[in-house]
Structure 1
Amino acid sequence: MPRSPLPSVLLWMGGSLAWGLAMATSFQLSVHLFGRATSSHDLALTAIYAAGGIIGWLAALPLIHRIRKRGGPETALAAWLLLLGIVTVGAIAGIYALQYRTFYAHWHAPFLSRIWVYQQIFTTASALYQFAVLGMRHLMPAGLAMLLVLSMVMARRSR
């Protein structure tokens, strides 16, 4: 039986939920086990990391599948490591930036005015910088370890 050109539904849905749970777990481990206290917003931040994991998986999977078909196990490992890692971090940062922008929307100028556009650009840039400085640490070392293990398992599975 020939292999399907697209990943299975179980891999799409089950994988996205599992990866979202893994990113939420990474955040919780970072806060409680490694003592990186945030604030009273831990539940909301856990949800951001979980949603970023789900979106990251769903966005990265077709890209990984396309690249994986071109090469051997080394290519599959690199695709899983790089694409899933980068897209997941990007998704978490994007959701964080949207939440950040929503908070500051009360003080922004009217929609689509020139000032509003500047405010959007600088608010988003500030949120992404803040995530890079404060948010990335919640993905280390647990999230990185989960990414490494998952990448090796999935690369081995694709042989």
Structure 2
Amino acid sequence: MNRLRAAWPSLSELFIGAPLWGVQMLLSAIVGLYLRNGWETSHVLDLAILYFSGGLLSWPFNLLAGRYLAFGHQVEARFAAFFLVLTTGTVLMTAFLFAMDYRIFYSRWHSPFGSVIWMFQFAFTGASAIYQFLVLGLGLFLPLGLVCLFATSLALAKRMR
């Protein structure tokens, strides 16, 4: 319990860090889209919102989990903890948001809420959306997202004592 209490981030770390991480992920996606196809897509704004939201909403969980794992360790282990948590947390949150958007689009053709068929449709629609995100969407985190991840992990590791 003391470890969790010590790992608990301040409100300023949460409310300042979240939009900053969201903007970094937004810029990563925009640079990735430009490098991939020169923004030749009609969904630039939607993708920008998705990646910003993924970064913004994952930050509180990422920060708490990273600080919890890093507590009491040397700077190298703290860096590794933040690197791991920021990577997985941001990808998972962005994939989840993509899956929910995917689900909303296909829900008009699905069975009524709560039925057995609806549960299968929900599970398989979500799984296919996550697969599609992993195949097509992970590339938008590169190359700038990797630089942001490295710099943010290093800053968080050094800041934490």
Q: Which amino acid aligns with 2:32?
A: S
By how many angstroms is 1:44 displaced?
1.1
Q: Counterpart of 1:22?
A: 24
The separation in 1 between residues aligned to 2:41 and 2:158, in whole angstroms, is 40
Cα RMSD for the two superposed structures: 1.7
Q: Counterpart of 2:152?
A: 150
Contact 1:77 1:154 in 2 (8 A): yes
Greater helix content:
2
Q: Counterpart of 1:55?
A: 57
By how many angstroms is 1:4 displaced?
5.9
Moved over 4 A (4+): none
User: What is the aligned counterpart of 2:44 among 32, 42, 45?
Assistant: 42
Q: Counterpart of 2:115?
A: 113
Length-normalised TM-score, structure 2? 0.91
Cα-to-partner distance string for 1:15-69 (whole Å, 9 max, x where unaligned)? 0000000001001111124436462111011101001001111111111111121
The separation in 1 between residues aligned to 2:40 and 2:148, in whole angstroms, is 22
Q: Which amino acid aligns with 2:99?
A: A
The separation in 2 between residues aligned to 1:60 and 1:48, in whole angstroms, is 17
Q: Counterpart of 1:90?
A: 92
User: What is the aligned counterpart of 1:127 among 126, 129, 150?
Assistant: 129
1:71 match: secondary structure: coil
By how many angstroms is 1:156 displaced?
1.8
Percent of aligned positions with the same letter in both sequences?
A: 37
The separation in 2 between residues aligned to 1:124 and 1:5, in whole angstroms, is 32
How many residue pairs align between the two structures?
157
Contact 1:20 1:53 in 2 (8 A): yes
By how many angstroms is 1:97 displaced?
0.2
User: Which structure 1 residue ranges, 5 or more long, are not aligned?
Assistant: none
User: What is the aligned counterpart of 2:140 among 138, 141, 144?
Assistant: 138
Length-normalised TM-score, structure 1? 0.92
Contact 2:7 2:71 in 1 (8 A): no
The separation in 1 between residues aligned to 2:80 and 2:49, in whole angstroms, is 28
User: What is the aligned counterpart of 1:104 among 86, 103, 106?
Assistant: 106
Cα-to-partner distance string for 1:46-93 (whole Å, 9 max, x where unaligned)? 101001001111111111111121311122101110001100000000
Q: 1:23 to 1:65 in 2, by over 3 A?
A: same
Q: Which amino acid aligns with 1:105?
A: S
